[in-house]
Amino acid sequence: MANPTFFSALRWATHFLAQHQQEDAGRFLLLARQGWTTTQLMLHYRDLMPDPVWKQFQADVQRLAKHEPAQYIIGYAPFFGHDFKVTPATLIPRVETEDLVEWCLALSSTRHLKVLDLGTGSGAIAVSLKLARPQWEVWASDISSAALKVATTNAKRLKARVRFYQSDVFAAFQSEKFDLIISNPPYIAPAERAVMDTSVLQYEPSLALFAQNQGLAIYQQIFADLASQLVSGGCFFGEFGYQQRPALAKLATQILPQGQVTFRRDLAGHERMLRIKL
């Protein structure tokens, strides 16, 4: 029997993944494997899939059906106009975090700034900031040595000069001060496991997802030392869960009463970001 056309293969993938109650990421995988744009794919819709392509596509879709994220299957994820290598040692960068980067760039000076990305993971935030603001001195840290290897690879491949450190929050930076600190820290409460996607729980690193004290433990650590790590007039930008705004507002008031706290909504209308100016 002849191999299917590209169009028929995509229809098969859609049906197969629906049977397994999985999101249809077949098109994303196919475009990534072929290095095509959507327009190029449309031009090939009626072409028969070469045998190696069809075998690879079937294997990829089988992996999707077992909850494996498409970004881990192909080994990279798009973020802020660049492709970042990702592995199960790092979170998959989300589009919501692009909002945080955009907000940071829009409100921050274009002059030289010393910047720290706490919990850098794949390095997506740090590298994106450095590429957008070459004059900034960007530092990045993570508690995971495996994540730092991925982040270093991304920075080298994208030619972004970022300084990487292994650190538990500010442990490695006691004598340093920064103009700007940004973070997408672990903020999910362990009790939320029951409502989370299987793909996230099975494949993404728990260390980068969960925090104790209803998901606020890492933010408590950050806030406790923020005044000593920021210069006067410095800013902190952070991402948090869509139900955590009241608790974070209270925490910031208690620990950083001198701080000017601003919250911002994501594209879905949820308050998911905060800025603290000291």
Does the annotation place 121 within a ligand binding site? yes
- Answer yes or no: is 241 a known binding residue: no
Is 168 annotated in a binding site? The answer is: no
Q: At what angle do helices 26-34 and 51-65 cross, to 10 degrees?
A: 140
d(CA 143, CA 119): 7
| Residue 262 annotated as binding site | no
Q: Are 260 and 235 in contact (CB under 8 A)?
A: no
Instruction: Give the whole-angstrom CA distance, residue 122 versus residue 150.
Output: 6
Is 52 annotated in a binding site? The answer is: no
Residue 52 makes CB contacts below 8 A (sequence gap 6+) with none
Name which of 129, 130, 143 is nearest 90 in CA terms.
Answer: 143
Known binding residue 117? Answer is no
Check the annotation: does 266 bind a ligand: no
DSSP 221-258: HHHHHHHHHEEEEEEEEEE--TT-HHHHHHHHHHH-TT
| 186 labeled binding residue | yes
Q: Is 145 annotated as a binding residue?
A: no
In whole angstroms, what is the distance from residue 173 CA to residue 176 CA?
Answer: 5
60 is in an annotated binding site: no
- As annotated, the binding site includes 119-123, 142, 184-187
- As annotated, the binding site for S-adenosyl-L-methionine includes 119-123, 142, 184
- As annotated, the binding site for substrate includes 184-187
